[in-house]
Amino acid sequence: MKRVIFLSLLVAVFVFSGFTTVYAAGKVLHIYEAFDTEEAKYYIDAFEKETGIDVVFVRMSSGEVLARVEAEAANPQATVWHAGSNTSHINAASKGLLEPYKPKTSFPLSDSLHAKDWAWTGFYSGAIGFVSNTNILKKKGANAPTSWDDLLNPAFSKNVAMAYPYTSGTAYTTYATLIQMHGLEKTLDWWEKFDKQSILQYTKSGTGCIPMAGLGEVAVGIAFSHDILAKGVNKGYPVVMTFPKEGTGYEIGGLSLIKGGPEPELGKQFIDWCFTKKAQNLFQKYNRLPVNPEATVGKGSVTLDQVKLIDYDHIWAGQNKGEMIKAWRDRIGK
Amino acid sequence: MTEANRKRQEIIGNLRLIWKEPLLLVFIIAIFYFLLIFVLFPLFMVFKTSLIVDKQFDLSNYLAIFSKRYYFQPFINSMILGVLAATAGTILGFVFAYAITRTPIPFKRFFRMTATFPIISPPFVVALAAILLFGRAGSLTPFLSRIIGEYSIYGLGGLVLVETIAYGPIAFLVLYGVLQAIDPALEEAAMDLGASRARVFATVTLPLSIPGIASAWLLVFIESMADFGNPMILSGNFRVLSVQAFLQITGMYDISRGSTLAILLLVPTVTAFFIQKYWVARKSYVTVTGQPTGATIQRLEWYIKLPTYAACFFFTGVVFLFYGMVIWGSFQKLWGVDATLTLHNYVEMFQVGKGYIFDSLKVSTWATPITGLLGMFIAFLVIRKKFIGRTTMEFVSMLTFAVPGTVVGIGYILAFNQKSALFPFVLTGTAWIIVTLLIFRNMPVGIRAGIAALQQIDPSIEEASTDLGADSSKTFRKITLPMIAPAFFSGLAFSFVKAMTAISAIIFVVSGDWNLITVAILGFVDNSQYAQAAAMSLLLIVIVLIALSIIQLLVGRIGKGARTVSIVN
């Protein structure tokens, strides 16, 4: 019995020593990160080196970030939400989870690159495109798709992958693009066919289909051009990138300050830094399109004036996401 | 004395016993408090959240689930997967256990080791290997598709395959224990009386092991239904509930409906747990008479030997193939495209994942001793002490085994992201939310180890030592400790393994300061960076193996020749 008491005291000491250390952490900037870990580290290391501020980040999809920020609203754990389609940022702003902040920039930010009240700002952009495996194209004797309807080509039967529109900003942008072009009903009719004929599987993350196409798991994937270049073409996968001739949608990468976050001053400093020429030049490595006009565009990158874009309404897409997703799930059943 | 009177007398007696040991009372209350906070409160929060929409009581979540195909289908899919994997896993486990306990198969130790190996690796490594082998760009795919035509590893078939490999070993461990406990003399007797081998099997061996088979089936059912890592990677269009609940929350930002899906997942697993614990476990026909006789039957017909041996060799081959593939894949430059061998993946893995590796090690090292000690203490209370609420304590602390990780994870973020009247600390974002989750999730392991340890000690042995002149401290050192230690340390070993390889609940509570290696691996897989994922999985397995050898060494030092305990119920 004595021993048992001794052991339990040990447990108690363990537990309480733990609780005290938790509250003795140093001052750092906490970021919720929607870039992939590797890419995020590339930017954040540069920021840390330049400013001497320590950053701690956790990588999640933009959907996960939003869920986390919402769950933690009573006690926010991070200050900055870095990257992810602005659609999710717009959604968060409409729930009052973000702190408006107008970043100090050396150039004027156009209206499409920020919320009216500056709850979020856009710091890069990129268009939706198709990524196709050249070996499979050759084997099937098909051309890389250059139109949305090419995706229904029997050669691509059960050979297309993309993310779930409800888990990925990329896939939702694709869906919202089609709705803005054809209206909801027509889009769902088309998608039903597309889902039955062509889709092999939906992935969780928007970029998941790129290596799938690269590996020949599928013939075609649908993703953002910068991701296709960075994760497909530049990695050495046998893939080509094409765009739909009818027009395509594009994303604006969002950046925002979380309401009630623990380090607002450091957070503002980070957001300002993201718009500097130096920071925007870093996008070359990952083929994202910078918004700072002085920054250099990455080699091979497709700028937004080289593809046919639709007049994509980000605000509409963000504000109607819940309803549009519900319609999609009700019809497609997935 | 009437029945009611006697009951009252007993309760008063128990109260008096407790009253004599006030410190014990304090500990009992403390443990109840911890169980309330860390086991029941999170569950309650999930339940509550599922019933509240826009801050009002609302049943619409439940109505939606039964009226929408995309919610209900995953439930059916999960059930199908659970049933198929449990059946396949149990058959596999039985064949293996039978071969090792009943046939003179060579290399028994070796077979036993390979059969249990998947338990110490993170479960989703099996899915990763399946993609490397059988994915469209897989190494065996060109060969296999020539034989069986075009197929897809993504979906039900692939999932049943990986779940069977990942959780079949649990069935093996259960059935190994059961078959070992059935005295071969019974079978010998039947044979001496003229029964054929098949008849002995059908009328003696099988009926005696039915409760064990049912137990194994239910355990594999629970595990594969609740599994998150494998379906996350491999489910394709075959959507299962654990993943859907996760996506509902992280993709749809809908915690309320995600909680509802989680509750839906909870129902079958907890039911299976109840059946296993309160019905099957009581029907055990095995009479424990002490040591098994160890006599194996040598008179074996070829038609028994051949298929059992073949099955053993085949499964062992599969295990080697799967894990060998992970090693092979981890050295390739660009998986599927450029097979040049390189160490680059390991370099990149360390650069990106150093923090994850240390975080995983830290939280597991903190959680493990607490899991072990707390488990031992609860086992001690439940077995040796009488107090009101004893069965409740046992039930609640074992319950965590049956609650799917997804539900626990959601519960923890809901319960600990703000201060509450019950618990005035915010745990979200700290290491402690991970550590407490690991402690209470793995506690059944600690308790099992504790119960096993205490059952090995007959109080009369300690009395004998005292009678021979040793004082109580010497008795504890020389008698009690060596007898408890092996079981205690095997419990520790297994909780460490579980902590290092946990994913389903953990994925909800990781944070910027504290992120874990399993989450990082899943991130690599999600990105189709299979080579890096393989490298990191391998590192994790190596760490676990090193930790296990250290513990094995300690056990060897302290308790010579003592048996290790079974690590599942």
Per-position DSSP letters for B379-410, written without gaps between them: HHHHHH---TTHHHHHHHHHHTTTS-HHHHHH
Domain boundary among B330, B364, B387: B330
Of A243-257, B132-146, B446-460, which range is least confident? Answer: B446-460
Ranges B40-49, B414-423, B479-488, B514-523, most confident: B40-49
| Alpha-carbon distance A108 to nearest alpha carbon in chain B (angstroms) | 33
Residue with tokens 């580290």: A41
Is residue B410 in some structural domain?
A: yes
Q: What is the pTM of this model?
A: 0.82
Domain boundary among B310, B330, B350: B330
Banded model confidence at residue B422, pLDDT cuts 50, 70, 90 = confident
In chain B, which among 85-124 make CB contacts under 8 A with chain A?
none
Residue B482 neighbours by CB distance under 10 Å: 15
Average pLDDT estimate for B169-186: 86
State whether B35 and B162 are in the same domain. Answer: no
B338: β partners: B334
State whether B280 and B390 are in the same domain. Answer: no
In chain B, which among 246-285 make CB contacts under 8 A with chain A?
247, 249-253, 255
Banded model confidence at residue A8, pLDDT cuts 50, 70, 90 = low
Cβ contacts of A299 within 8 Å, gap of 6 or more: A284
State whether B438 and B518 are in the same domain. Answer: yes
Residue B347 neighbours by CB distance under 10 Å: 11
| Alpha-carbon distance B108 to nearest alpha carbon in chain A (angstroms) | 38
- Establish if B293 touches chain A: CB-CB under 8 angstroms: no
Chain A positions touching B30 (Cβ under 8 A) are 12
Contact B247/A167, CB-based, under 8 Å?
yes
Separation CA A4–CA B374 (nearest Å): 10
Tell me the two tokens of residue B98: 């039978």
Which residue blocks in B456-528 are alpha helix, DSSP H? Answer: 459-467, 472-475, 481-501, 506-509, 517-526
Cβ contacts of B52 within 8 Å, gap of 6 or more: B58, B256
Within its chain, how far is the Cα of A301 from the centroid? 18
Is residue B57 in some structural domain?
A: no
Q: pLDDT tens, B329-342? A: 999 888 877 888 89
Is residue B91 in some structural domain?
A: yes
State whether B100 and B238 are in the same domain. Answer: yes
State whether B173 and B207 are in the same domain. Answer: yes
The chain-wide mean pLDDT, for chain B, equals: 84
State whether B326 and B340 are in the same domain. Answer: no
State whether B354 and B434 are in the same domain. Answer: yes
Separation CA A221–CA A45 (nearest Å): 31
Residue B33: what pLDDT?
93
Contact B511/A77, CB-based, under 8 Å?
yes
State whether B85 and B128 are in the same domain. Answer: yes
State whether B474 and B370 are in the same domain. Answer: yes
Separation CA B157–CA A107 (nearest Å): 56
Separation CA B371–CA B366 (nearest Å): 9
Tell me the two tokens of residue A230: 């960075």
Sign for the pseudo-dihedral over CA of A63, A65, A66, A70: positive
Give yes or no for a contact between B472 and B502, defined as CB atoms under 8 angstroms apart: no
Is residue B27 in some structural domain?
A: yes
Chain B positions touching A166 (Cβ under 8 A) are 247, 251-252
Average pLDDT estimate for B402-421: 88
Separation CA B84–CA B105 (nearest Å): 28
State whether B417 and B562 are in the same domain. Answer: yes
State whether B363 and B234 are in the same domain. Answer: no
Domain boundary among B273, B304, B330: B330
Within 13 Å of residue B315, how many CA atoms lie on the same side as its CB?
32
Is residue B66 in some structural domain?
A: no
Nearest to A11 among B337, B338, B373 (CB): B373
Range of the domain at B130: 75-330
Tell me the two tokens of residue A210: 């790129």
Amino acid at B79: M
Residue B7 neighbours by CB distance under 10 Å: 11
State whether B310 and B348 are in the same domain. Answer: no
Is residue B52 in some structural domain?
A: no
Is residue B70 in some structural domain?
A: no
Tell me the two tokens of residue A53: 């501020």
Domain with residue B307: its CATH number is 1.10.3720.10
Chain A positions touching B376 (Cβ under 8 A) are 4, 7
Q: pLDDT tens, A173-213? A: 999 999 999 999 999 999 999 999 999 889 888 888 998 89
| Alpha-carbon distance B189 to nearest alpha carbon in chain A (angstroms) | 46
Is residue B475 in some structural domain?
A: yes
Chain A positions touching B528 (Cβ under 8 A) are 208, 210-212, 214-215
Distances (CA, A) of A211 to A133, A221, A294, B569: 10, 9, 32, 41
Cβ contacts of B385 within 8 Å, gap of 6 or more: B17, B24
**Total structural domains within chain B:** 2
